[in-house]
Structure 1
Amino acid sequence: MTILVMLSVAILLIAFRVLRRRGRDDEGHGSSSVDFSVNLALAVYLLVLAYAAVLCRDGLSVAETDVQAEAESLTEMYWAVAPIPEAAPVRAQIRQYTAQSVSLDWPLMSESAMSQVPAHTLEDMRAAVIRLRPADEQGKSLQQDALARVAEISHARAVRADDARAGLESIFIISMIISGLVVIMLPWTLGVRPTRSSIIADMVRVGVVLIGVCFIMLISHPFDGIGAIQPDAFKAAQQQYDQIDGQFPAQP
């Protein structure tokens, strides 16, 4: 990241140095010097843009995988407690945590925050599993499995909180803005009277830079903007709970 910023600044200095030397010695080469500098700045801009896009895509993919892993742990925990007759309250807490994650966490995760209500539900869920007193060895084994799943869910929730706080570092946006400004402004240093073609070229350059910066900002957060992760995995888990209840009806 630091290298990209240093590279952007270096290209900017080189561009102006070329303009200073060649522009003063031979005014006829001024235009070609500016073109050369603009191309260098454009290369840096596209490099930063591509690198930022790859980082955003990777961050989105990792966060989506983490969400799916948490939903799978919830489903496996529901499977673990379903055969235990006295575990009906635990089933209800699993459903409650899943619903609260969807309704309370997701609206806040776009703002890099999470609700404390599902966290308290998760703590109550762990305590409820510990308080279970299965009558046979199979029930005790399922209880241990459920406790392991609770630990997985707790870890997955912490990871999801980290993902919600994650995002593209501002250094990339700064690098894009610097190199983009060079691409836009260097041709104006010639002091040539604008023509229709030059105005169109200016508008194209400004549009390309603005679209690139805006696009990166829109995909820079995994739970906000274009392609934001939705709680589809949690909603799918809720449907699986119903299927599990069909095989192991809850007992009062």
Structure 2
Amino acid sequence: MGWIAVLVMVSVAIALIAFRVLRRKGRDDGDHGASSVDFSANLALAVYLLVLAYAAVLCRDGLSVSEADVQAEAESLTEMYWSVAPIPEAMPVRSQIRQYTAQSIDLDWPLMAGREMSPIPGQTLADMRATVLGLRPVGEESKNLQQDTLDRISEVSHARIVRSDDASTGLESTFVILMIISGLLVIALPWTLGVRPTRSSIIADLVRVGVVVIGVCFIILISHPFSGLGAVEPDAFKAAQRQYDQIDGRFPAQP
């Protein structure tokens, strides 16, 4: 949000300075070099729109991939809970699965907006693996469930690494720089004619400034999958918590 405020203030300042200078020193409207300037401005506009569209597609794809990764991790947690539920001696594992899920929601998500992850859920996951390895299940079926639980823990561990990678990535700064440069050209090129502003030209200038600023701000707002517009929320993890309650109903806790 800080970048957006700076961008808006800089754009407004540039427009005000340009209007003030052109009003004092600009000449009356004419055709001096207008055709070449119009061509350059249109070319800059085409480049700006192309970069804007490509950046929007990349951001949308990043959001979709991150959302799918979060959903896959939540599904692995649910399947893990199903695996341990029939094992009477695995009650501590149930508690650790719930603990990991809650910690991911409460600790990870606020930090992921800043491209970080909390170390606490990772430690809980390691403790969970140790607890499962320490189980001594009776019967072939319980042993198979124990192995399946270990496999699910590996899946969750990998999914957590993927989620960390998703949180640490975002739109390349190159695209933002290109958008700003091409946007500035779109705004400033018509002013190089040195024509004194009129009511209609001021309206056109404001429209150009608005289009450029809104476009860049929109891309910045969707450039990170866990912050801004359309950010991935922990809804899949919250749904997994509700699934745990349903599984407990089928496999009540053993005294």
The two structures have a TM-score, normalised by structure 1, of 0.88
Code of the aligned partner of 2:102: A
In 2, Cα distance between equivalents of 1:78 and 1:106: 22
Match of 2:183 in 1: 180
Match of 2:36 in 1: 33
CA drift of 1:29 comes to 5.6
CA deviation map 1:128-185 (0-9, x unaligned)? 0101111100000000000000000000000000000010010000000110011011
Match of 1:82 in 2: 85
Match of 1:198 in 2: 201
CA deviation map 1:68-104 (0-9, x unaligned)? 0000000000000000010000000000000000000
Aligned length: 226
Match of 2:104 in 1: 101
Question: Please, which of 142, 145, 148 is the counterpart of residue 145 of structure 2?
Answer: 142
The answer as to whether partners of 2:104 and 2:121 remain within 8 angstroms in 1 is: yes
Code of the aligned partner of 1:72: E
In 2, Cα distance between equivalents of 1:199 and 1:180: 17
Match of 1:210 in 2: 213
Code of the aligned partner of 1:60: L
Runs of 4+ in 1 over 6 A off after TM superposition: none
Code of the aligned partner of 1:214: C
CA drift of 1:244 comes to 0.3
The two structures have a TM-score, normalised by structure 2, of 0.87
Matching of residues 113-152 of structure 1 within 5 Å: 113-152=116-155
**SS of corresponding position for 1:229:** coil
The answer as to whether partners of 2:96 and 2:124 remain within 8 angstroms in 1 is: yes
Match of 1:158 in 2: 161
CA deviation map 1:229-249 (0-9, x unaligned)? 110000000000000000001
Structure 1 alignment gaps of length 5 or more: 1-26
In 2, Cα distance between equivalents of 1:137 and 1:61: 41
The answer as to whether partners of 2:66 and 2:225 remain within 8 angstroms in 1 is: yes
CA drift of 1:30 comes to 1.1
In 1, Cα distance between equivalents of 2:174 and 2:76: 36
Code of the aligned partner of 2:97: I
CA drift of 1:28 comes to 4.1
CA drift of 1:31 comes to 1.0
CA drift of 1:34 comes to 1.1
**SS of corresponding position for 2:114:** coil
In 2, Cα distance between equivalents of 1:28 and 1:85: 87
CA drift of 1:250 comes to 1.4
Alpha-carbon RMSD: 0.9
CA deviation map 1:35-81 (0-9, x unaligned)? 11111000000000000000000000000000000000000000000
In 1, Cα distance between equivalents of 2:134 and 2:249: 25
